[in-house]
Amino acid sequence: MKFKINRDHFSNGLAQVLNVVGSKATMPILSNVLIEAEKDCVTFTTTNLDLGIRARIKAEVKEPGSVTLPVKRLASIVRELPNLDVAFDASPNHHVKLSSGGSTFKIMGIGREEFPPLPELGDENSFSLDQATLTTMLQSVAYAQSSDETRYILNGVYFSFRDSKLTLVATDGRRLALISKEMDVAADRAGSIILPAKTVTELLHMLNKGTTLKIAFNERRATFQIATDKDTSGLLDSIYLYSKVVEGNYPNYQQVIPKETQQRIKLERELLLACVHRASLVCSEKANSVRIKLTSNLLEVTAQSPDFGEAHESMAIAYSGPELQVAFNPAYVLDPLRALTKDEVFFEVKDEVSPGVFKTLENFVCVIMPVRLS
Amino acid sequence: MTRLPTILHLDADAFFVAVEQARDPSLRGKKVAVGGRERGIIASASYEARACGVYTPMPTAQALRVCPDLILVSHGLGGYGAVSRRMFDLCETLTPVVQRNSVDEGYLDLGPCGFKTAAEVEAAARGLQRRIWDELQIPVSVGLATNRLVAQIASKLRKPRGFVVVPPGTEAEFLAPLGVGKLPGIGGKTEAALAERGLVLIRDLFARSESELAAALGGGWRELLALARGEDDRPVEVEREDAKSYSQQETFAADIADFAEIERVAKGMVDALLPKIRADRKRVRTITVKVRYPDFSQTAHGRSLEAATDLEAPFYPLIAPLLRAAWTQRRPLRLVSVRFSAVEDATGQLEMFAQQDEKRRQLAAVLDRLTGRATVVRRGHQLAKAPPPDK
C-alpha cells in the first residue's frame, strides 16, 4: 500500500476520527485508525464499539491496501511534519514508512483483520436534515443533558420524529430544554431515539462541513451520513458516523412543561444574561442560587454567599403582575440564554416553587426548576 | 523559645451520670448509673458504682447483680448534647482551637493564647476546669502536655477531677512506668499477648531488640515505639466533621422472633432518624439493617438507593428484604438497628420528575414540626399489633 497525501488534509482527516478513541481502549486494535487506500482516496475509520466514525480524504494512491496505526500518536506526528507532501508506504508486515521533506518515521501497525467493521443501516427509517438547522437545534438543548451516570437514560439527547416534526429534548431532571421543527414524517416512519452525549458532542464537531445529512436509526443504533461539500481541507463525499443509542424509555417530558402561562415577561436576552452572570459571581458551591424578584416594571437579581458577600442587579422590564420571587441555580438560567441567538426571550414564572420557563418564537422551551427560598 | 505544655486534653468524668447529678443533686455520692432498662447496657457509671464493679459497657442486668443497690437512671431526659455544647463553649472562651472529639472529651490548643510560662498555662487550665464545675457542675479531668497523645494519657491518669501536667522533654519519662495498654492501638487482647512476652510496661519496649519488637508487635512496631517515646505531631483540629451516618438501635425487653414486630420497630427507626437528617439539611443514600442474636453475634445487610433522599418512603420497602437478608439464623433476636450512611448535603433544588417527592417533603416538614412537640401523628406501621382475639 502506497499513497501520497497533503499533510493538512491528512491531519484534517485524522482529526475527524480522533476523539472516538478513548484513553483506555478495551482492545489494542481500538486505539488504532484503520487506513484504507483505493482509487483516489484514503479512508480513515475509528471505533470504540459504541461509536464509530469514517472519513474520506483525497490522495494520490499508487498501490491500494490497508493497515491500522495508533491514531493519537499518528495524528501528533502528521501535524508536525515539515513538508506539505507526505508519502505513506506500508509493507506487508504492517510496518509503515512516513516521509515528508527530511523526516522519516517508521511506525509499527496492526493488520486490518482484527479491526471491527462499522455496522451499516438500511434506509427504512431515514430522514434528511439540514446541517445548519440540526446544529442550532442541538446547541439549543445539549447543555441540559445529565452527566449523572446513575441516570443513564438522561445521558443523551432525545430525537423524536413524529407528528410532522422533529423534536429534540434534553433534561437532567432539574431543567429541560426542548426544540422542534416541522418536517415531513410519514406516520409509518415515526420513531425516536436517545442519542448518547458523547455522540452528540462528536456530531456537533462534524456538522457544518456540508449542507445536508442523513440520519437512519433503529431501536439499537443510529447512523449519520454527513455531507462535506463545504469542506476545503480534502474531505470527500460524506463523513459516516455510527452510534449505539441509549436503550430505554425517555421520561414523559410533556408532563413537566407547564400548560398554562402565568406571568410572562419579555426580556432582552443579553441584558438578563449579563445581570445573572454578574450576580452569580458571588455564588459559592454551598450557596449556588440567584434570586429573581419581579415587581412593577422591575426585575431584580440578587445572590449571596455567607462567606463572601452579596450582589444586586436590576433591569427595567414591562411587568404589571403581582410581586413575586423565585430562586434558580444560575447555570440553569445562563445556559439557555447563552445557547439562544435571538435578541428577545420570553420568561414565564408562577411562584417560588413552580418551574420557570424560557420560550422563543421558534418552538423552543426551557423549563428550569427553582431552588427553594429559605 | 522554650516549649510549653499547651496541648490540653479535657475528659469529663462519668459525663452522663454527672449531667444527671447536676439535674438532681441528691444523686451525688451515690452508686448511680445511666443506662438502658433491664436488657440494655450501662452507658456511664458514677465512681461509687465503679467501686462496686460496675463498668461500661456492661449489660444492665449484670450491673444490677454485682451492685444490687445501683440507682439506674434511663437516658430518657437526654439533654447531654446541650450540656456538652455549653462545656465546649466554655473551652472556646479560652482558645479558639478546640477539637470536639465526642460528647465528653476533646482537645484544646492553648498555643494561640500567648502564655509566657508553664505556670500561666497551668493557671488557665485550672481556671477552665473550675469554671466548668462552677457553671455546669460537670467534673472534668485535664491533661496538659506538648502533644495530643501525652495530654490524652495524662488526663485519664488521675480521674476523677485529675490534673496532670507533663513538662516538655519529660514525655518518655512520663510514659515509661505506665502499662503498655495506655498506648493507643493496644487493646485488651494485644496487651495480654504482650504480657505473655514479658512486655507489661511501656519502658519494657525499649529493652527489646528490633527483631523481638517486630515479632511481638508486627509491622507497626516502629510507629508504636514512637508513641512509646511520647512522639505525636497531630495538630488539634478545629473543623468538626459532619455526621457520617445516622443510626438507631433497640435492644428488646425479651428476645423476639416475630418478624412483623421487628419490622415495625425497624420502620419506627426510619421514622425517628429521617427527621434528624432533614433537620441537619442532609440526604442519605444507604441503609443498613443489623440484627444481633442473644449471644451477641450479629449480621448486617445494606442497600443503596439510586439517589440520596431525605424522605422515609423510599426506605420502607427495603426494610423487610434487608431484615430477611440479615436475619439468616433461625433464632430470636436480641437487638435490631438501622443505620443510614452515604450522607450528602441537601440542596433546595427542586426536581422535575419527582413532584410526588416534593409533596411528601412538604408533608414531612409539617409532620416534623408537629412531632417536635409531641407524637400527634403516627404512621400505620407504628401501631403495635393488636392482641389476638379470644377464641
Burial class (CB in 10 A: 0-12, 13-18, 19+), B241: exposed
Class of domain B172-228: mainly alpha
Q: Is A24 strand, coil or helix? A: coil
What is the C-alpha to C-alpha distance for residues B5 and B166, in angstroms, rounded to an integer? 7
> Which tops the pLDDT comparison, B242 or B264?
B264
| CB-based contact A174 B348, cutoff 8 Å | no
What is the C-alpha to C-alpha distance for residues B234 and B217, in angstroms, rounded to an integer? 22
Q: Where in chain B is the domain with CATH 1.10.150.20?
A: 172-228
What is the C-alpha to C-alpha distance for residues A252 and A355, in angstroms, rounded to an integer? 16
All residues of chain B having their beta carbon less than 8 Å from the beta carbon of residue A349 are none
Q: Which three cell numbers stand for residue A326?
A: 423565585
User: Could you tell me which chain A residue has the CA closest to the CA of B305?
Assistant: A150
Domain A2-114 matching CATH 3.30.465.10: the answer reads: no
Residues 334-373 of B with CB under 8 A from A: 345, 347-354, 358
pLDDT value at residue B239: 67
Weakest-pLDDT range from A17-26, A237-246, B107-116? A17-26
What is the C-alpha to C-alpha distance for residues B363 and B351, in angstroms, rounded to an integer? 16
All residues of chain A having their beta carbon less than 8 Å from the beta carbon of residue B351 are 173-174, 369
Portion of chain A with pLDDT greater than 90, in percent: 80
- The secondary structure element, H or E, covering residue A295 is strand A290-295
Q: Which three cell numbers stand for residue A29?
A: 486494535
Say whether pLDDT at B37 is over 80.
no
User: Could you tell me which chain A residue has the CA closest to the CA of B359?
Assistant: A353
> Which tops the pLDDT comparison, A124 or B290?
B290
Say whether pLDDT at B391 is over 50.
no
| pLDDT single digits (tens) B192-239 | 888 888 889 999 888 888 888 888 887 778 888 889 999 998 888 886
Helix axes B210-217 and B188-196, enclosed angle (nearest 10) = 140
Domain A125-253 matching CATH 1.10.1510.10: the answer reads: no
All residues of chain B having their beta carbon less than 8 Å from the beta carbon of residue A176 are 352
Which residue matches cell numbers 445562563?
A: A334
The beta-carbon neighbor of B351 closest among A174, A329, A367 is A174
User: Could you tell me which chain B residue has the CA closest to the CA of A252?
Assistant: B353
Q: CA A333 from chain center: how many Å?
A: 20
What is the C-alpha to C-alpha distance for residues B300 and B73, in angstroms, rounded to an integer? 30
Say whether pLDDT at B383 is over 80.
no
pLDDT value at residue A357: 96
| CB-based contact B351 A173, cutoff 8 Å | yes
What is the C-alpha to C-alpha distance for residues B236 and B209, in angstroms, rounded to an integer? 34
Residues of B annotated as part of the active site: 105
pLDDT value at residue B1: 46
How close does chain A come to B353, measured CA to CA in Å? 6
User: Could you tell me which chain A residue has the CA closest to the CA of B358?
Assistant: A353
User: In Å, how far are A75, A339, B213 from A201, measured between CA atoms?
Assistant: 20, 15, 61
Q: Where in chain B is the domain with CATH 3.30.1490.100?
A: 246-373
The beta-carbon neighbor of A370 closest among B345, B350, B354 is B350
| CB-based contact A173 B345, cutoff 8 Å | no
Interface test with A, best of B350, B359, B361 (most A CBs within 10 A): B350
What is the C-alpha to C-alpha distance for residues A142 and A212, in angstroms, rounded to an integer? 20
Say whether pLDDT at B63 is over 70.
yes
Could you tell me the end-to-end alpha-carbon distance of chain A, in angstroms, rounded to an integer?
A: 70
All residues of chain B having their beta carbon less than 8 Å from the beta carbon of residue A256 are 352-353
What is the C-alpha to C-alpha distance for residues A151 and A159, in angstroms, rounded to an integer? 18
Do the beta carbons of residue B232 and residue B149 sit within 8 Å?
Answer: yes
| pLDDT single digits (tens) A62-119 | 999 999 999 999 999 999 999 999 999 999 999 999 999 999 999 999 999 989 999 8
The beta-carbon neighbor of B349 closest among A176, A286, A329 is A329
Average pLDDT of chain B to the nearest whole number: 87
Domains A125-253 and A258-368 share a fold: yes
Residue B59's pLDDT band, with cuts at 50, 70 and 90, is confident
| pLDDT single digits (tens) B296-338 | 888 999 998 878 899 998 999 999 999 999 999 889 998 999 9
| CB-based contact B351 A369, cutoff 8 Å | yes
What is the C-alpha to C-alpha distance for residues B147 and B3, in angstroms, rounded to an integer? 11
- The secondary structure element, H or E, covering residue A165 is strand A165-171
Q: What is the mean pLDDT of residues A299-317?
A: 93
* Residue A87 β-bridge partners: A4, A99
Phi-psi region of A103 (alpha: psi -120 to 50; beta: other; left: phi over 0): beta
pLDDT value at residue A374: 67
| CB-based contact A175 B350, cutoff 8 Å | no
| Cα four-point dihedral sign B28, B32, B35, B41 | positive
Average pLDDT of chain A to the nearest whole number: 92
Domain A258-368 matching CATH 3.10.150.10: the answer reads: yes
| pLDDT single digits (tens) A13-63 | 999 999 999 777 778 899 999 999 998 999 999 999 999 999 999 999 999
> Which tops the pLDDT comparison, B130 or B354?
B130
Fold (CATH) for B12-111+120-145: MutS, DNA mismatch repair protein, domain I (3.40.1170)
pLDDT value at residue B3: 84
| pLDDT single digits (tens) A159-186 | 999 999 999 999 999 999 999 999 998 8
What CATH superfamily classification does B246-373 receive?
DNA polymerase, Y-family, little finger domain (3.30.1490.100)
For chain A, which residues make up each domain, given as ranges?
A: 2-114, 125-253, 258-368
Q: What is the mean pLDDT of residues A263-267?
A: 92
Residue A213's pLDDT band, with cuts at 50, 70 and 90, is very high
User: Could you tell me which chain B residue has the CA closest to the CA of A332?
Assistant: B349
Q: Is B213 strand, coil or helix? A: helix
**What is the count of residue pairs from A and B with beta carbons less than 8 Å apart?**
41
Which residues contact residue B158 at a Cβ distance below 8 angstroms, ignoring those fewer than 6 apart?
B141, B164
Residue B364's pLDDT band, with cuts at 50, 70 and 90, is confident
One-letter amino acid of B378: R
